[in-house]
Structure 1
Amino acid sequence: MTAKWEKGEGNQGVLTVEVGADEFKSALDQAFQKVKNDVSLPGFRKGKVPRKLFEQRFGVESLYQDAVDIVLPSAYSNAVEETGIEPVDQPEIDIDGEIEKGKPVVFKATVVVKPEVELGQYKGLEIEEFDTSVSEEEVEEEIEKLREQHADLVVTEDAAEEGDTVVFDFKGFVDGEPFEGGEAENHSLELGSGQFIPGFEEQMVGLEPGTETTVEVTFPEDYHEETLAGRAATFNVTLHEVKRKELPELDDEFAVDVDENIETLDELKKKKREELEHNKEHEKEHHEQDSVVEQVTENANVDVPSAMVTTETDRMLQEMSQRFESQGISMDMYYQMAGTDEEGMKEQFRPEAEKRVKLNLVLEAIADAEEIEASDEKVEEQLDEMAQAYERDKEEIRQLLSLQGALDTLKDELRMQSALKFLVDQGVTVEAKPEETEAEETEEEDKQE
């Protein structure tokens, strides 16, 4: 077998594969062995028809397609390896010329290959500094959130305020007629939570227990129930109870209620500070990665093949399906709720999929340029983490990944992570720009116009 690769325009080219006469003859022999059991001729039992008589009766040409099917997969695979190309989609394969017995067979495969990446600047990229310090105010905010979470709801005779929970009956009407789903008794609602139609909760503020009133609202234009979208509605409301949050005292007893592993309020504050610091370190890491990713992809020039984007959208859809299934939600159910279908979902994913593919190609090119590899230590660390997460033996995880062909994928992912870390390490920290107010952004946009 011989192979020749001719690069065409863009990411496409033609792979010419010549299968030798002897190799194709062997495939013809295998094809005959495959079909002879289904052939019967007068005087011969099935499977006993001589090859010569078969060819006289049916012609050797009748074996050509089966022989091609036998020889083509391995010939194409070997040709790809020999020429060193990296296909990213199924090829379009045609036989070049007529097949003649005793002569080589030539295939021409039109192949889309992984694109070449023209790297721009990727060292010394600017990364705005990220403040990881934690203020006293931030710690106090976290403590107040805990107080809110541990608050008791106490019935009050006072008028309802934002943040109170009200218990009420309601019945809704559109054009004087009740509508489905517009009625409930003893319904609980936290005012200010935004659970009801815009304007409804605001009109509940100031009402006292026992009040009967009318609330007038308009359904949003994008309301999920099309028959109600954009329409005016009236609700008859009877308020039964107002419940107000009673916050616990901020003392050591409260701290123990929140976390049984600590004994004092000071310890709780210290723990919350450490958690905030830890979270900010993670935020800093993501900030740095996002900064270099945006710049390095913008600086690089690469023609992303549509086939790679399609593969990525399929993978994203599969991941989404697995997440929903783990929550007991089928994709058909989701499509119905979201008002879309599989193709619509893929179309939504496509812009993000293209960004991901381009980023992976760029990171791979940088890893190649800088000779970055996933170290054995990193691989072992990842296997340790997976074994712990799945509560399985580490070697069992390794064997499972190997059988699935996923061990190389794991190494590739770790290699990309190392390339990303390289970009951050090579970056230059600069002073953060002051955040623009909404008015300043509007003014800047007006200047540009």
Structure 2
Amino acid sequence: MKHSLNEIFKEAKLLHAVEDISSTKKRLRIEIPSDAIENEIKDSLERLRQKTKIPGFRPGRAPMNLIEKRFGKEVEAEALEKVIPEFYSRALKEAELTPVTTPVFDEKFDFKRNSPLNLSLTVEVMPKVENLHYEGVKVREIPIVVGEAEVEDSLKRLQDERAIFEVAEKEIEMDDIATFDYIDCEIVGEEKDPTLKDEILKMGNEVFPLDIIEKMIGKKKGDVVEFTKTFSEMFRVKEFAGKTLSMKVMIKEVKRKILPEIDDEFAKDLGFENMAALKEKIKEKIYDVKKRHAVKIQKAEMLNKLIESNTFDVPETLLKNEMETLVIQQANTSLGESKDATKEKSAFEEEKKDDEELQAEMRQKALKNVQASIIVNAIGQKEEVTVTDDEVKERINVIAQRLSVKPEMMMNFYITKDGSLEGLRHLIYEDKVIDLMLSKAVFEKGE
């Protein structure tokens, strides 16, 4: 009598259960009953017989031995590809293991028709984190104060954003805009670049090297400025990194910055009734930013305490993946150009640090990140935290509003980057779990 796969599952057991290679690496020895494979092979052969045209036979009437002779090996391979993952998944479930890598066969298995298939598989798994005491974790209370000077600084930034520039017969000062022509421009040792006209530069531009800007300060329309600049190996524009640039420019025009008055009219232009209302809104925004920053610190402190009080191994693959992520993030951060020569030198010296020391630092940071993620997932499972589709849509809307783009564009960004919205869903999941953990913490006043 033919048994269904579910019936076979009920009867089948792990042959030798689970062998511990380490707390995060297991060897599973599985015996797949011959019925499971044979049933799949026969079903596939019958489907092929129904649709395959063989000379001298009507579809579905060809002898099974002919079908098997023609398609047997192919069907056997397909049957194994289907049945092995099903039994492997069941074995993991039976052993209560969560894999973090695909399994590796310890040896080449020998498959014979109508015989049980014995497999030995090695797989990395999530560690079991038990007895997590996350209720009542002591967290430092962080007072939030918004000073008047902070409000004034924000007002000045708003004022600066709404500045206008007008042509002036004057010497160049910081914050002015200068228009100039390149008379001569070359990278020493290379072919000269063609001259450019009507280039515009704002004095104090954070991208343009400060020492070049300082050469222009005090100059006026008609003046010619010459300078030579040797860029560090860390300069973000690769074409200039480690090279010397020689330039000669002529100032064509100077524009000075004119700031609007900070008064009730200024507030009304921004959509507020008066200056008091604008200041109140600024104060609220500063408070919100500080509050988010304080909560971020509290969450980090809480996770650090849980990491310190819970010892467990982490899967080497997760650690390796996290280190690769940190390396990419560090490389992207290093692309930014320093504002002055001192910072350039500091960045260069940092780059020269001993490789082993850098690796150790990166590994330690990656280890903490992975440990935190494992703890969060363990607590999330215990608390049965879930993320709904509506919560994903809401997060997309919030991000889109913050970036002033359409939600559809934001959704396409995540799908293009990750292939689905599961990455964003997991971020929301972690946020919900950590918020839950923080709600169960005990806040203590700091010193």
Do they superpose with TM above 0.5? yes
Distance in structure 1 (CA, Å) of the matches to 2:164 and 2:421: 51
Gaps of 5+ in 2: 1-8, 328-358, 401-405, 408-418
Change (3 A) 1:174 1:58: closer
Are the equivalent residues in 2 in contact too, given 1:289–1:424 (CA < 8 A)? no
Are the equivalent residues in 2 in contact too, given 1:126–1:430 (CA < 8 A)? no
Give the TM-score taking structure 1 as reference length: 0.69
Distance in structure 1 (CA, Å) of the matches to 2:173 and 2:372: 50
| One of 417, 421, 432 as aligned partner of 2:432 | 417
| One of 258, 270, 282 as aligned partner of 1:272 | 282
Which amino acid in the other structure matches residue 234 of structure 1?
S
Are the equivalent residues in 1 in contact too, given 2:50–2:59 (CA < 8 A)? yes
Change (3 A) 1:116 1:224: same
Are the equivalent residues in 2 in contact too, given 1:169–1:239 (CA < 8 A)? yes
**In structure 2, the residue corresponding to 1:184 is in which secondary structure?**
coil
Are the equivalent residues in 1 in contact too, given 2:215–2:225 (CA < 8 A)? no
- C-alpha deviation, 1:386, in angstroms: 5.7
- C-alpha deviation, 1:211, in angstroms: 1.4
Match of 2:347 in 1: none
| One of 104, 118, 121 as aligned partner of 1:109 | 121
Match of 2:377 in 1: 364
Which amino acid in the other structure matches residue 431 of structure 1?
G
Distance in structure 2 (CA, Å) of the matches to 1:187 and 1:220: 24
- C-alpha deviation, 1:431, in angstroms: 2.1
- C-alpha deviation, 1:418, in angstroms: 3.1
| One of 17, 26, 43 as aligned partner of 2:30 | 17
Distance in structure 2 (CA, Å) of the matches to 1:176 and 1:98: 66
| One of 171, 174, 183 as aligned partner of 1:159 | 171
Identity %: 25
- C-alpha deviation, 1:287, in angstroms: 2.0
Are the equivalent residues in 2 in contact too, given 1:168–1:188 (CA < 8 A)? yes
| One of 236, 244, 259 as aligned partner of 2:248 | 236
Change (3 A) 1:63 1:78: same
Are the equivalent residues in 1 in contact too, given 2:29–2:121 (CA < 8 A)? yes
Which amino acid in the other structure matches residue 301 of structure 2?
S
Matches within 5 A, 1:46-195: 48-51=61-64, 64-93=76-105, 98-117=110-129, 122=134, 125=137, 127-170=139-182, 171-175=184-188, 179-180=192-193, 183-195=195-207
The worse-fitting range, judged by mean Cα deviation, of 74-83 and 407-416 is 407-416
Change (3 A) 1:58 1:357: same
Provide, for residues 303-328 of structure 1, a one-character-per-residue CA deviation record: whole Å limited to 9, x for no partner.
Answer: 222344567789999xxxxxxxxxxx
- C-alpha deviation, 1:279, in angstroms: 2.0
Matches within 5 A, 1:365-384: 365-367=378-380, 371-374=382-385, 379=388, 382=391
Are the equivalent residues in 1 in contact too, given 2:204–2:210 (CA < 8 A)? no
Which amino acid in the other structure matches residue 372 of structure 1?
E
1:32 corresponds to 2:45:
yes
**In structure 2, the residue corresponding to 1:215 is in which secondary structure?**
strand
The worse-fitting range, judged by mean Cα deviation, of 408-417 and 196-205 is 408-417
Distance in structure 1 (CA, Å) of the matches to 2:432 and 2:255: 51
- C-alpha deviation, 1:247, in angstroms: 1.5
- C-alpha deviation, 1:215, in angstroms: 2.1
1:3 corresponds to 2:16:
no
Change (3 A) 1:85 1:234: closer
Match of 1:297 in 2: 307
**In structure 2, the residue corresponding to 1:69 is in which secondary structure?**
helix
Which amino acid in the other structure matches residue 273 of structure 1?
K
Are the equivalent residues in 1 in contact too, given 2:97–2:125 (CA < 8 A)? yes
1:385 corresponds to 2:400:
no
**In structure 1, the residue corresponding to 2:21 is in which secondary structure?**
coil
Distance in structure 2 (CA, Å) of the matches to 1:251 and 1:59: 86
Are the equivalent residues in 2 in contact too, given 1:363–1:420 (CA < 8 A)? no
The worse-fitting range, judged by mean Cα deviation, of 305-314 and 197-206 is 305-314
Are the equivalent residues in 1 in contact too, given 2:392–2:428 (CA < 8 A)? no
- C-alpha deviation, 1:43, in angstroms: 6.5
Which amino acid in the other structure matches residue 187 of structure 1?
E
- C-alpha deviation, 1:14, in angstroms: 2.5
Change (3 A) 1:365 1:70: closer
Match of 1:441 in 2: none
- C-alpha deviation, 1:73, in angstroms: 3.1
- C-alpha deviation, 1:137, in angstroms: 0.8
Change (3 A) 1:88 1:208: same
Match of 1:263 in 2: 273
The worse-fitting range, judged by mean Cα deviation, of 1-10 and 122-131 is 122-131
**In structure 2, the residue corresponding to 1:133 is in which secondary structure?**
coil
Which amino acid in the other structure matches residue 39 of structure 2?
S
The worse-fitting range, judged by mean Cα deviation, of 200-209 and 230-239 is 230-239
Match of 1:218 in 2: 230
- C-alpha deviation, 1:134, in angstroms: 0.8
Which amino acid in the other structure matches residue 374 of structure 2?
L
**In structure 2, the residue corresponding to 1:180 is in which secondary structure?**
coil
Are the equivalent residues in 1 in contact too, given 2:165–2:257 (CA < 8 A)? yes
Are the equivalent residues in 1 in contact too, given 2:168–2:255 (CA < 8 A)? yes
Distance in structure 1 (CA, Å) of the matches to 2:219 and 2:423: 65
Distance in structure 1 (CA, Å) of the matches to 2:242 and 2:113: 75
**Matched length:** 385
Distance in structure 2 (CA, Å) of the matches to 1:97 and 1:372: 41
The worse-fitting range, judged by mean Cα deviation, of 231-240 and 420-429 is 420-429
Distance in structure 2 (CA, Å) of the matches to 1:120 and 1:298: 12
- C-alpha deviation, 1:117, in angstroms: 3.0
Give the TM-score taking structure 2 as reference length: 0.70
**In structure 1, the residue corresponding to 2:254 is in which secondary structure?**
strand
- C-alpha deviation, 1:136, in angstroms: 1.0
